[in-house]
């Protein structure tokens, strides 16, 4: 599991909350990974990515108007 955490921290060094979330998830799924090596071979844990919330102002929006968030695909 330490190899996965090292990979996540190297890939997303400024995502401290994401690191904590990955650690908590890994703690809970470690028994499953240990019993089913197919998940390790498929690199499922390494596919975890932080959610990025992007706020974009709409053209012509009034000053002080509410800006909607967009949860786009994060690859």
On the question of pLDDT at 66 being above 80, the answer is no
| Model confidence, pTM | 0.56
DSSP SS3 for 5: helix
pLDDT tens-digit readout, 15-60: 899 899 889 988 998 899 889 888 888 887 777 777 765 555 556 6
**In which residue are the tokens 């509410």 written?**
66
Q: How does DSSP classify residue 55?
A: E
> Backbone phi, then psi, for 59, in 5-degree steps?
-60, 135
């Amino acid at each position: 599991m330490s190899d996965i955490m090292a990979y996540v921290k190297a890939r997303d060094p400024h995502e401290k909350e994401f690191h904590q979330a990955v650690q908590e998830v890994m703690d809970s799924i470690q028994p499953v990974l240990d019993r089913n090596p197919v998940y390790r071979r498929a690199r499922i844990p390494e596919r975890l990515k932080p959610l990025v919330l992007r706020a974009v102002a709409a053209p012509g929006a009034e000053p002080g108007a509410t800006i909607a968030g967009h949860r786009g695909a994060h690859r």
